[in-house]
Chains A and B, each alone.
Chain A
Amino acid sequence: GQNIDQPTEMTATEGAIVQINCTYQTSGFNGLFWYQQHAGEAPTFLSYNVLDGLEEKGRFSSFLSRSKGYSYLLLKELQMKDSASYLCAVPTPRQLTFGSGTQLTVLP
């Protein structure tokens, strides 16, 4: 089975950088996803890491270390609209198993 841990809440200031960590244990690794979810809305895809290393996509970057069972999402130049829940998830062919999500609050 899969076990995913991420912090429940984080707070940061507009313009700052924040790193949201995720650790996972899985019986078979098929990559790791990050989704963003605003309150009451659908999760939207941010990134998918299969290989070790950092992948950058604009203000958002995602890092993966398969040997450590560890990933992080890095958000730069934070904006108020980045206030949302960030979900770490690991896939199998049958399902996507999500962590409980990290609620990020961006303060002015």
Chain B
Amino acid sequence: EAQVTQNPRYLITVTGKKLTVTCSQNMNHEYMSWYRQDPGLGLRQIYYSMNVEVTDKGDVPEGYKVSRKEKRNFPLILESPSPNQTSLYFCASKGGVAKNIQYFGAGTRLSVL
């Protein structure tokens, strides 16, 4: 089944403790992206990757890092999480025949205390 898989789905952590949210897609898509979703602000892009080893900032990149060493994986790294990074995070990918349609993972709900 074609899908975008995020882990973990839920995470509670404390300020300053480094964490990684993984994202993997099995559709051989070139493009992958991370979004955060906050009430009243909608979905905002954090980082994106056009292909392996090619990443760039989105609209709200501060406090986040990403890497794209393999085509299928695009982890989101919070080196020193802060409470304002408490949010719902989504990974997405696009490519192939339906190249303009982004497909989203199930989401990761992060709480930083």
A residues at B contact (CB < 8 Å): 30-31, 33, 40-45, 48, 87, 91, 93-101
**B residues within 8 A CB of A95?**
33, 45, 48, 58-59
**B residues within 8 A CB of A45?**
101-103
Does B29 reach chain A (CB closer than 8 Å)? no
Contact residues, B34-78 vs A (CB, 8 A): 40-43, 45, 48, 50, 56, 58-59
| Closest residue of A by beta carbon distance from B4 | A42
Which of the four size classes fits the interface of chain B?
20 to 34
CB contact between A44 and one of B48, B50, B56, B104 (< 8 Å): that residue: B104
> Known: A94-B56, A95-B48. Contact between A43 and B104, CB under 8 A?
yes
Q: In the complex, are the beta carbons of A100 and B107 less than 8 A apart? A: no
**A residues within 8 A CB of B50?**
93-94
> Known: A45-B101, A48-B101, A95-B33. Contact between A87 and B106, CB under 8 A?
no
CB contact between B100 and one of A31, A42, A44 (< 8 Å): that residue: A31
B residues at A contact (CB < 8 Å): 33, 40-43, 45, 48, 50, 56, 58-59, 88, 90, 92, 100-107, 109
**A residues within 8 A CB of B88?**
40
| Closest residue of A by beta carbon distance from B88 | A40
**A residues within 8 A CB of B41?**
100
Q: In the complex, are the beta carbons of A30 and B100 less than 8 A apart? A: yes
What separation, in Å, do the CA atoms of A97 and B102 have in the docked complex?
Answer: 12
28 A-B contacts (beta carbon < 8 Å): A33-B101, A40-B88, A40-B107, A40-B109, A41-B106, A42-B90, A42-B104, A42-B106, A42-B107, A43-B104, A45-B101, A48-B100, A87-B43, A91-B100, A93-B50, A94-B48, A95-B33, A95-B45, A95-B48, A95-B58, A96-B33, A96-B45, A97-B45, A98-B42, A98-B43, A99-B42, A100-B40, A101-B42
